[in-house]
Structures are given as C-alpha cells and as structure tokens.
Amino acid sequence: MAQIELIRRTEGFGQKTAVEDWTGNFTYADLLRIARYTALHLLGDEKDLEEKRVAFIIPPGFEYVALKLGIWIAGGVSIPLGITHSSREIEYVIRNSGTETVIFHSDFAQKLEGISSDTSIRLLKLPDVLQPAYGETPRVDEERRAMIIYTSGTTSEPKGVVSTHLNIKAQITSMVEAWEWNSEDSILNVLPLHHLHGVLNVVLCSLWSGAKCVMMNGFLPKNVWNRFQRKDLTLFMAVPTIYSKLIDFWENCVISERKEMSGCFQGFRLMVSGSAALPVSVLEKWKEISGHMLLERYGMTEIGMALSNSYRGERLAGRVGFAMPGVEVGIFDAQDRQLGEGNQGEIRVKGKNVFLEYWGKPRETKSAFCDKWFKTGDIGFFEHGGSFRILGRESVDIIKTGGYKISSLEIEEVLREHSMIKECAVVGIADSRWGERVGVALVLREGFSIKLEELRDWASDRLARYKLPTRLLLLSSLPRNSMGKITKKLIKQYFENSL
C-alpha cells in the first residue's frame, strides 16, 4: 500500500470524474487502476523503484496523469518531458537526470532517436505500460524524491529541480487552502505539462481535491472559447500570454459572437494568472470581457506558489498579494539583512514547500540558500500592509543605469498604455558610460510606426528621465519560450547585434 497521501486521497473519489480529455471521461477508479498497471510494468521483477528516474513524453490527457501516478506508486521519480521540445533538449534532460526508463507515445518516438541505441536506458511504449498487470506495489515514504522539473532556462542551462512528496504536498495544500479548491471544481488545462504551473497548480491540485480536470491537447484560443461555452467549468489558470491570445480572439469576433462568448462565465468562481507579470491592460480587458478580476499570484519551480492576491478580499492590479498559507516570504538586501515594509530587495522563501535540491548540483543548491531561506533571484517591493509587487528578475529585469536600479517591468507597464504599442520588452544594454542603457523592443499595432524621440516625448510625462528608453528596436513579434515567457536574453542579443 502506498503511503503517498495524494494517492490515498484519490482512492476516496472512486466514481467521480477525474479527467476529461479528447478521448472521453475517466473516473478516479479508472485512473488508479491504470496507474497501478503502469506501476507494475515499471517494477517488473523489482519490489520498489527506489527513486529511479522515469521520464515520459506523452500528450496532455488521461494517460499522462495515470503514468505520473503510476511512477509514484512504483517508488520512482517522475520527469515530465516537454512535447514541444527538440530531440536535443529532451536528450539533455534524460542524460542530465540519469533517467533509466523513458515511457513514450509513438507520436514522439522520433524525438528519442538519439538515445534509442543506448542500452542503459529502457524505452517503454504506450499503450504497453497501460495493459492489465497484477502484483504488489511498495510502501513509499513521503520524504522521498518525487519529481524533477527542468526550469525553463530563460537565464541559464536548465537545472533539474527536485521535489519530494512532502514538498509537493505542502505546495498543493497551500493552494487548496488559499483558493478553496473542492470536489465540485472543474478546471480546464491548456498549459504544457513539463512545467510546474500545469502539473502542480492544475493537475495535482485537482486530483488532491477530487475535482475534474479537463485536458486540452495544446492551446488554441478558438477551442478554449468553445469549451467555455459548455458552462461547466469553475476554474481557469493560465499565463498572461494565454489571456492576451483569448482577448485577441474575442476582439476579432463580431459583436453578436462577443456577447455570446462573454455570457459563458457565470459558472467560474476563480480565474488565475501567473508565471510572468500580468500587464494591467490585460487584467482590465479580461475583466471587461468576462466580468472576472484575475487573481495574480507569484511562484517558481523551486517553491511552488509563494504569494497570492486574496481569493475573497480585494485584488490589487499590478500586485501579487500576500504570503500563501504555510509559506514564509521575506525581502533581503545585498548584505543578507531582512528588510521591513516599504523596501525593495530580493524575495526569499522558507517553508516545507521549498524544493530539496538541484539534481546533481550540490554547489548550486548550496548557493541558492542563505540561512535556510531560498534566494529566488527576483526583486520585489514589500508594500505597507504586507503585499508584494514584483520588480523582476535581478539578472534580466533589473537595469542598472547611471547609479540607478530600475525595474524593466515598471517601464513596460507604462509603455503598454501607448495606443500604438501592442507588446514591449525593456532590457538593459551594456554600456561603458552608463553601466547599462534602457533599451525597448516594441511590437506595434498594424499600420503604425514610431521613432525613439516620439516615444521618449510621450513617456516623459509618465516616467522619470533616467527611466526613458535610449535605444529602440521594432520587431514583428517578441521571442518567447514554451511557457510564453519573453526571452529577454535574446532581445539583449538583438540589440547587441544591431549596434
């Protein structure tokens, strides 16, 4: 009998629907049965996988969830691989993690060609591992390693973030409490399932609560709007880019369609945004379309969710709210001194939610902590009253120019108010005189053009002089990673190449 609480809880939800995907509906009983079969196939003659790493590349549906639980029931460490990743990226994760078994769907067989001749890696195909099997499964202690998620790598080579079952439980229960998850909930997932947001906030919170998780194979605005029309969903969680794309789609519809689309939100009790800063313009437009004030939260692969606006109380635009239940959050200066309200500094986090280690990187793990606080590398402003504002990642969003330290997110928020600007990204560009200069990459609305001087003139009423951009680059789109986050490192390179 497994001792993992998540598995024990799912046993109690029997005939409730756990997952809906494009092939049908599956109950919790179905889910556990198939998960056990998978566990037994993985075990073979072994009694316990003893934290062996099992990677899997599977479309985001029922089978994905069953495999994930199956790996845990067998005592393994689950490593979800990105279905949109290249063979090279996938091979990196498999080799870096010392994965010994890879489960794959035939759609992705080609991505594994690089490791197919490696006899030290066992390749298991779907649906073989889902077929009936009988035998004993091990007791699995919750202190064991459970999952490795590779961070998106916007700043450096991806690192494997290792979480134990206890870490994951703390991360789930914090969200369940804060956002009042319950067994009547039903959530739509459109997020990739190799990243914490989709895996934890959507799939695992849903399983923990006995809710229904509706899984879409990828994100297409039209399909999401169509699914909303069935009016049976209560929750939606996504990144800002997804909300922007849903807004674009709505705006391109005729008035009668828009009305119908906006009429499908009565059943929702909560819509959440996170993983990147939510532009206030997107928050406001979404409120106009859906009647919902998005709840913005802040989290990270290493810690789960740390800060959240209030579920029941007032939600503040441009803020990420307060510390989540069971999570300690502090602001520190460069000398590691904790600062009080009214200051800005590095956000550090403590609690059972904080991950165990970076896989195979003891040095990086050690240097990521100070006095048991995890150093996020994000700069935040600790407001009077205890809420937080994110100023960005120290490494890419904080620009040091002429002795000032400025937040690119703050400048972006202002520039987005310009009627010609569709999207923008502000970066620091190395400069021998100023340290860094403020550069802005713009995507303009169709048919418009703008010169740097015009932009500076317009912005000078809204921003201090030292925050005004001194370099401008016009682009047709901003480069983004698979989570929709803008890859500022690339934008910096564009500037360097253009100089």
Decide: is 412 part of the binding site for ligand AMP (CB under 6 A): no
Angle at 379 between CA 377 and CA 382, to 5 degrees: 135
Identify any residues that bridge with 370 across adjacent strands, giving them in sequence order.
373
The Cα 227–Cα 387 span in angstroms is 34
The span of 169-177, 298-306, 398-406, 447-455 binding ligand AMP (CB under 6 A) equals 298-306
The span of 84-92, 226-234, 295-303, 443-451 binding ligand AMP (CB under 6 A) equals 295-303
39/294 with CB nearer ligand AMP: 294
Decide: is 277 part of the binding site for ligand AMP (CB under 6 A): yes
70/321 with CB nearer ligand AMP: 321
The Cα 207–Cα 6 span in angstroms is 8
Positions in 163-182 near ligand AMP (CB under 6 A): none
Decide: is 275 part of the binding site for ligand AMP (CB under 6 A): yes
Burial 207-218 (b: 16+ CB within 10 A, else e): bbbbbbbbbbee
306/421 with CB nearer ligand AMP: 306
CB 463 within 8 A of CB 411: yes
Decide: is 394 part of the binding site for ligand AMP (CB under 6 A): no
In the block, which residue shows the tokens 């998005």?
294
Contacts of 229 (CB under 8 A, 6+ apart): 260, 261, 264
Decide: is 276 part of the binding site for ligand AMP (CB under 6 A): yes
- Is the peptide bond preceding residue 127 cis, with omega within 30 degrees of 0? yes
Find the binder of ligand AMP among 287, 393, 471, 489 (CB under 6 A): 393
Positions in 302-321 near ligand AMP (CB under 6 A): 320
The Cα 364–Cα 385 span in angstroms is 34
Decide: is 387 part of the binding site for ligand AMP (CB under 6 A): no
Decide: is 376 part of the binding site for ligand AMP (CB under 6 A): yes
Find the binder of ligand AMP among 301, 308, 408, 487 (CB under 6 A): 301
The Cα 4–Cα 68 span in angstroms is 13
Decide: is 193 part of the binding site for ligand AMP (CB under 6 A): no
Decide: is 300 part of the binding site for ligand AMP (CB under 6 A): yes
Find the binder of ligand AMP among 17, 96, 151, 186 (CB under 6 A): 151
The span of 230-238, 252-260, 270-278, 400-408 binding ligand AMP (CB under 6 A) equals 270-278
Quickly list H helices, 217-279.
221-228, 240-251, 255-262
| Binding-residue total with ligand AMP (CB under 6 A) | 17
Decide: is 99 part of the binding site for ligand AMP (CB under 6 A): no
Tell me how far, at minimum, the Cβ of 191 lies from ligand AMP, in Å. Answer: 11
Q: Per DSSP, which regions of 295-401 are E strands?
A: 295-300, 304-308, 322-323, 328-332, 338-339, 343-350, 357-358, 369-370, 373-382, 388-393, 398-401
Positions in 319-358 near ligand AMP (CB under 6 A): 320
66/390 with CB nearer ligand AMP: 390
Decide: is 480 part of the binding site for ligand AMP (CB under 6 A): no
Decide: is 274 part of the binding site for ligand AMP (CB under 6 A): yes
The Cα 328–Cα 353 span in angstroms is 10
Q: What is the DSSP letter of 486?
A: B
3-state secondary structure 286-297: HHHHHCCCCEEE
Binding residues vs ligand AMP (CB under 6 A): 151-152, 196, 274-277, 296, 298-301, 320, 376, 378, 390, 393
